[in-house]
Every structure is written in C-alpha cells, then in structure tokens.
Amino acid sequence: MPDILTARNITKSYSLSSGTYPVLNNINLSLEKGLSYSLIGRSGSGKSTLLHILSGLDTPDSGSVFLNGRNIEKYPEEEKAVFRRRHMGFIFQQFNLLDEYDIKTNICIPLFLDGIRPDTCFFQEITDILGLTHILRRFPPELSGGEQQRAAIARALITKPYIIFADEPTGNLDEQTAEATTQLLFLCMKKFGQTLFLATHDLNLARKTDHIFHLENGHIL
C-alpha cells in the first residue's frame, strides 16, 4: 500500500527563560495507508508535539510533512484549517465535544462547517457500530466518558478522512471502558480502511497497533 503520510527532517525546539529546549531532532517517518501506528515515550518526550506537527496543528522549525502527497506546511493557515477539517480526524483525551449541541450534531460538525450534508447511510453505519443510535439526541454532559469518546470517534470518521490522529484517547477512561472503547476504535479502523496514528503512554494500547514508534531524546527509535 502507498504511504499516506511522510515526515521529513522534522525539528522542533522551544525557547525557555533558561535557554532553548530541543524537543524533536531530525524526525523522519512514513505511514502506510490502512495501517495503525502508535507513538510511545515518557511524559514530556514530545509525543503530542510530534502528533500536532504531523496533523498541522503546530509547525516545525524545519522539515516538511506530506499528507497524500501534499505538503501541508505550504498552505496558508486558513486553507490548512479547511484541509485538516476535511481530510483528518481527531480524537482527544478530553473528548472535545460541544456541550450546547446534541451528539448527532457534534458528530456532523466537521461537515456542517463546510456546508456538506452527511452521508446518511455512512452516518447510520458508524453510529450503529459505536452503539450511539439511542443517544443521538442527548447532550455531552448527560453521557459517560465512554459514550463521549465513542461520539468523538464517530466525529473523527464522519468526513472519511485520509488519517485519524488520537492523542491519549483512553487517558480519561477507566480500564474496562478503555478496553471496550479501544476495541471499537480498531474495529472501525479495519472496517473502513483508515490509517490511525496515536500517541499514548499505555504500552498495552500501543501493542494493539501494527507498528510502534518510540520517541526518546528527540529521536524516533
């Protein structure tokens, strides 16, 4: 299968009062379409920074990221936001649902922002798989953490993106709920041929992916 994402010579440092702190040093990696990848490393190793750069949420000091052959660093910020919304899905530890909208609307927000009508059959399919059909008219504060994260997975899938990024997706869930949610996440990835890149400190979760990257001292091992 072809590579869906390629990162070349990614470097990132942060300026602190005590000096410059290097986080990523000449990172190179490629992600193949339809496979799952995990990024592990100690707290503060730069996992979230690398995920944010790969997804265009942050910019590297140097280097390039290509998604489906397009250099996302070349896009102006407004165009990059549209590209990200249409072609990337995101799952966060804090769920990031909007409390003022019901679950059905939350799932479809990436489409509504671009004036796109949801694919009714696809919407039905993903909400069935994720066990959401009975709570679509409820609001996030009324739901458990597991239900909210399943809604976030549906939102990540709804645009049929090139890739899904997940940052500590089970970090706010108890062990039993995390396991059940993880099983559903990987079921969806396989069924819809999605590429998944997740950052996690959970080695058990990382072992479920096809490939593991270990980030240490700014380098991929």
Q: For residue 4, is it within any domain? A: no
Residue 87 has pLDDT above 90, yes or no: yes
Q: How many CB atoms lie within 10 A of CB 163?
A: 21
Q: For residue 14, is it within any domain? A: no
Instruction: Provide the domain count of the chain.
Output: 1
Domain containing residue 156: CATH number: 3.40.50.300
> β-strand 88-92 against 70-71: which pairing, if any?
unpaired
Q: For residue 122, is it within any domain? A: yes
Residue 2 has pLDDT above 90, yes or no: no
pTM, 2 dp: 0.94
pLDDT at residue 15 in the model: 85
| Mean pLDDT across 16-30 | 89
Q: For residue 170, is it within any domain? A: yes
Q: Return the structure tokens found at 65.
A: 């990221």
Q: Which residue in 11, 45, 46 sits closest to 28, CA to CA?
A: 11
| Mean pLDDT across 102-125 | 96
Residue 1 has pLDDT above 80, yes or no: no
Tell me the H-state helices in the chain. 47-54, 77-87, 103-112, 120-129, 145-157, 175-191, 203-206
Cα distances from 166 to residues 54, 93, 149, in angstroms, run 12, 8, 11
Q: How many CB atoms lie within 10 A of CB 144?
A: 12
CA 6 from chain centre, in angstroms, equals: 16
Q: For residue 177, is it within any domain? A: yes
pLDDT by residue (tens digit) across 133-164?
Answer: 999 999 999 999 999 999 999 999 999 999 99
Domain that holds residue 160: 35-45+75-220
